[in-house]
Chain A
Amino acid sequence: MINKLMYKIGGGISTFIEGIFAPLNILPYAVSALVRDKREVRKTYSMLFYKEVFNVGVKALPLSLVMGLSIGALSVILFPFETISFGIDNIYGSMYVNLLFRETAPLITSLIVIIRSSIGITIELTQMSIDGEIDTLEIIGINPIQYLGSFRVFAGFLSVPILTIYFAFFSLISGMLVTYSLYNIPMNVYIAETLDVMNLKDFIILIIKTVFGGFTIFIIAIHNGLTAAKDRSMVASKTIKSIISSIFIIIIVNLLITVSFYASR
């Protein structure tokens, strides 16, 4: 009786750990395929990779631009600069760096990628699982993670940080324009204040957050898609699971990174 119980608990734990680490297999595949592609002058993998970078990154630029401009402008319009200054001298630069650059930019960009790409990938892969296309790949000796997953994770790895910087740049521009028109703060002063507050550490932490974000979003989407059972209801359930898990993990990890790097100040 106790043996059976222990066996069940042990089995459960090992399945859980395997489930967490299985998606990490994607990374070595991605690296080795890109290197081999390059070495053997093939375009197999690189072609899929560039296509995905286009889908994840380039196609998301308009949405990222609009979000960056509107959030940058709104943050200046809504913040009561005249009444609250927290005793900070350069309140405009502090607000941009602390609120938009460090926190909002990685979070909003991750949400944009979840809405645009994560949902699409989960639905596509779940549908392929249901139609037996994943089984087909396995039967002809192609690891589905290699063919469908690895280049996507790599594309996310590259695209999300770039999209975040793009978002941060346009929120800076719109914040600068609105500050000038509402409070008559010269643009060069706004930029100088921002650069005065921002340092290399902020930039590095932004990159860490976004690289982790890109990696997590795509791994979760691919893992959910590839592990779907052959049942139509899986499309909805796996997509919802993908979205919720991604958002939850991104928020928690962003919070943890912020607390661990900035809370001691």
Chain B
Amino acid sequence: MSTSEKLLDVQHVTVKFHIGGLLGGTFLTAVNDVSFSLESNKPEIFTLAGESGSGKTTLSRVLLRDLEPTAGRVLFEGRDVSTIRKRSEFIEFMKKVQPVFQNPFETFSPLRRVEAYLFDTANNFKMASNDRDAARVVDDALRNVGLSLDEVRQRYPHELSGGQIQRVSVARALISQPRLILADEPVSMVDASLRMEIVNLFRKLRDEKGVSVLYITHDLATAYYISDRIAIMLRGYIVEMGPVEDVLERPAHPYTQLLKESVPEPAPQKRETWARHIELGATEVKEYGRIGCKFAGRCPKVMDICREADPPNVQVGQQMVKCYLYSERGEKAAAEAQP
């Protein structure tokens, strides 16, 4: 398949941050050789899941062209986004890729009426030639999220509920008619009784508007609920990737297994697995700097070879797994270890 048929193609992206003084110091690899792609003709919800410090947000900054990757490239509609230099091209890119952020009360200034943001977006992207046109564009976007311009007109952010204001920020992202929405923890600040309305909204956008969504979250339960495919990140690496049913129902990587088991299920009769005791590290483990698999220090199935070199990406069924357990070299090592 040629790259032009891909909406988003992330190729071996690595981001290193320099930590420490002007001279010396060390590098922290926040995103490490990450590759995945979204098809152009098939809108989907793709989840990037991982714990804090796994590199999810750094990766999303690269995709929004807010940060240059140290290595690798990001192709959007076949074009390397780092070659975008002209302002007009950049606006064209921003039109197609729109973000939705975590805390809607921080996204909007409390001193400005929310509709001002919507009209600004419509005008900046030249979606309308005059005020009446802009009102129509804004109203259309709001109707997609179950609101209308009359409901939000003259309102300040604090006058809307958490669910409503987050829907307004999705509507703002929809104004430019994007092909891809990057949603970074969009529901973690929203109350439980309103959370599903946001999550269902992303489903609706995929099915009815053909918008692809890159959903970034630490919450595996909502990830399972809405996404088609999922990538599990650990310390900058994607350790497992595939259809969400396969990855979360039959996790292959020991880290995904631990993660899934640690998600408390809302069912008191199923307490046993969750209640099984686990070991926690005392100090912040320096997993970033670790050679080999980053999970080796906590993995119940760790082998010597895991500490020597990065595990390979292995195809297991529908899943891509970064683990020696499934590679030939790992099997050989395991066989040697057990005479």
Q: Do A and B come from one complex?
A: no
